[in-house]
Structure 1
Amino acid sequence: MYNFLPYAYFQNKFVPFAEATLSIATHALHYGTGAFGGLRGIPDPQDSTQILLFRLDRHCQRLSQSAKFLHYNLPPEKIQEIIVDFVKKNQPNTSFYIRPFIFTSDLGIAPRLHNIEKSFAIYGLELGDYLSPEGVSCRISSWCRQEDVSFPLRGKISGAYITSSLAKTEAVESGFDEAILMNSQGKVSEASGMNIFIVRNGKIITPGFEHDILEGITRDSVLTIAQDLGIPIQERAVDKSELLIADEVFLSGTAAKVVPVKRIENYYLPEHRPITEKLREKLIAITENREPNYRDWVFPISI
């Protein structure tokens, strides 16, 4: 059961969450013609009068870019302005997650993006750990990640998540926590809603954009932190067999943050995960505004 924040942004104004409702004939509900973002926020541990949002500018930029695929012009500055007002309106007092959402809001049955009304909405919920920080088990999904040739994977398009949903349910119903999807060439792509990394011989390896991954903001953060820490990184194709013999495997995402993988299929990975733990601890410190060199990643809001 989720604890939703009391107010949502809906139809160009703030309303009680329970009043932000849609018709069952809403176009996006039928065709997946929406785009969404997700970002985390926490009360500032050092200042009770502030809320901290992680990489707000990048999240707004990505959502604005995703909107373009829907033929909708929504500047990142406008998104940021509304999100800041949303946080001030709700004044959350615990760790939370914000879901901004763009969608085709007309009532109609023709699948299209032209000559159709679009809307922008935001809601939020209290959110602690999305996945266990102790580690998760993964299975290789029988479902394949979409290709950019047939789907705009540079956007966070809602329709894409049918594949994620199928893969996640398949994994959970077969006794695992999470799924790993391969791309159409049989190379590792990503998890159901997270990017994936492996560590071999002290080097971080992760699939590149050409392997049909989402351009994850936490992924970008992890790579930047690793580079700053002097940890070698490589973006390249990753084979299934590499997952099974890796020294460490971890997932990253806004909701998940950095989560170690302890088992893939029936292969158990080492319990000692020095690089994963170092990155996880560093990312937590950054989000709590305890790292001066990354202050520009943290957006403070006075409440």
Structure 2
Amino acid sequence: MDTFLKYAYFEHQFIPFEDAKLSVATHALHYGTAAFGGLRGIPNPQNPNEILLFRLERHCQRLSQSAKFLHHDLPADKIYQIIIDFVKKNKPNQSFYIRPLVYSSGLGIAPRLHNIEKNFLVYGLEMGEYLSPSGIKCRISSWYRQEDRSFPLRGKITGAYITSALAKTEAVESGFDEAILMNSQGKVCEATGMNIFMVRNGQIITPGFEQDILEGITRDSVLTLAKDLGITVVERPIDKTELFIADEVFLCGTAAKIAPVYQIENFKLSEERPIATKLREKLTAITQNEDPKYKDWVNVIPLD
């Protein structure tokens, strides 16, 4: 069972999590007219009276952009300050996950974005490993990723995640840990809540934005780290069969961090994962504020 942080930000104030409740008639519940973010936080290993948040500014920026698709003006700096206050209010003492959500809070029944109240909330929960760091097995989903021409894929819009839910359950119920979705062109797109990478001949290859992927923040971090480590990065369409013969395949996301894949369908992949391991170790050191080169990626929040 999830352990939620004690306080939530709800209807412009901090209240006990269990008191943050919505009406059954809430518009976002019926029509998916909401957008969310997600970021991890940990107590500073060097100072337990500080919390470390990874790339907070970028997360706030993306959620602010997502809100625009809902016809709502939610400035990134406002999100930023509320999340800082949220952390200070809760004083978490172990690894946790923050979920901010902008949503249509009005009680109307017509699917629309105009003339309806919008609101913003934040809650959090304790979170360890989302996927096994030792490796997972994936199947190719029978469900396909939406297209940008019919859905605003550059926003984390809640309605889009029915596809992820269908694909994830299909994968788990057929004996796998995670699903890999193809796009409408039959090219590899992403997992149910993570971006995907493969390694072939020493190069990292990943689908580009034109492949209907989410503009992942962890993805951006991985690309930056790989280039800084001197690893060649190629963004291009990927065929399904390339995954089966790749030297390495791994997923990345805020919750999953970097999760190596050891099997896709009935194809076993190598247990040697030098690039994924190097990137995971590097990313872990950065999130723990142990790498001065990337200190601007980490926000240090004093609790006192």
TM-score (norm 2): 0.99
CA RMSD of aligned residues (A): 0.3
For residue 242 of structure 1, report the CA deviation from its aligned partner.
0.3
Q: Supply the distance in 1 between the matched residues of 2:200 and 2:220 (Cα, whole angstroms).
A: 19
Report whether the alignment pairs 1:216 with 2:236.
no
Tell me the alpha carbon deviations over residues 38-89 of structure 1, each in whole angstroms, 9 at most, x when there is no partner: 0000000011221000000000000000000000000000000000000000
- Aligned residue pairs, count: 303
Map residues 179-218 of structure 1 onto 2, 5 A cutoff. Answer: 179-218=179-218
Q: Supply the distance in 2 between the matched residues of 1:205 and 1:221 (Cα, whole angstroms).
A: 15
Map residues 159-174 of structure 1 onto 2, 5 A cutoff. Answer: 159-174=159-174
Report whether the alignment pairs 1:96 with 2:96.
yes
SS of residue in 2 equivalent to 1:59: helix
Give the unaligned 5+ runs of structure 1. Answer: none
Amino acid at match of 1:166: L
Report whether the alignment pairs 1:140 with 2:136.
no
Which residue of structure 1 lines up, in the alignment, with residue 298 of structure 2? Answer: 298
Report whether the alignment pairs 1:155 with 2:128.
no
User: Could you tell me whether the CA contact under 8 Å between 2:48 and 2:93 is conserved in 1?
Assistant: no
Which residue of structure 2 lines up, in the alignment, with residue 67 of structure 1? Answer: 67
Q: Supply the distance in 2 between the matched residues of 1:128 and 1:226 (Cα, whole angstroms).
A: 25
Q: Supply the distance in 2 between the matched residues of 1:296 and 1:146 (Cα, whole angstroms).
A: 34
For residue 254 of structure 1, report the CA deviation from its aligned partner.
0.1
SS of residue in 2 equivalent to 1:280: helix
Which residue of structure 2 lines up, in the alignment, with residue 246 of structure 1? Answer: 246
Which residue of structure 1 lines up, in the alignment, with residue 21 of structure 2? Answer: 21
For residue 23 of structure 1, report the CA deviation from its aligned partner.
0.8
Tell me the alpha carbon deviations over residues 228-272 of structure 1, each in whole angstroms, 9 at most, x when there is no partner: 000000000000000000000000000000000010000000000
SS of residue in 2 equivalent to 1:143: strand
Identity of aligned residues (%): 74
Give the unaligned 5+ runs of structure 2. Answer: none
Q: Supply the distance in 2 between the matched residues of 1:49 and 1:176 (Cα, whole angstroms).
A: 40
For residue 108 of structure 1, report the CA deviation from its aligned partner.
1.4
Which residue of structure 1 lines up, in the alignment, with residue 79 of structure 2? Answer: 79
Amino acid at match of 1:90: N
Q: Supply the distance in 2 between the matched residues of 1:265 and 1:62 (Cα, whole angstroms).
A: 33
For residue 166 of structure 1, report the CA deviation from its aligned partner.
0.3
Q: Supply the distance in 2 between the matched residues of 1:184 and 1:107 (Cα, whole angstroms).
A: 35
Spell out structure 1 runs of 4+ moving beyond 4 A.
none
Q: Supply the distance in 1 between the matched residues of 2:32 and 2:172 (Cα, whole angstroms).
A: 24
SS of residue in 1 equivalent to 2:237: coil
Q: Supply the distance in 2 between the matched residues of 1:233 and 1:78 (Cα, whole angstroms).
A: 35
SS of residue in 1 equivalent to 2:180: strand
Amino acid at match of 2:214: L
Map residues 24-43 of structure 1 onto 2, 5 A cutoff. Answer: 24-43=24-43
User: Could you tell me whether the CA contact under 8 Å between 2:56 and 2:298 is conserved in 1?
Assistant: yes
Q: Supply the distance in 2 between the matched residues of 1:135 and 1:35 (Cα, whole angstroms).
A: 30
Which residue of structure 2 lines up, in the alignment, with residue 263 of structure 1? Answer: 263
SS of residue in 2 equivalent to 1:243: helix
Q: Supply the distance in 1 between the matched residues of 2:220 and 2:297 (Cα, whole angstroms).
A: 12
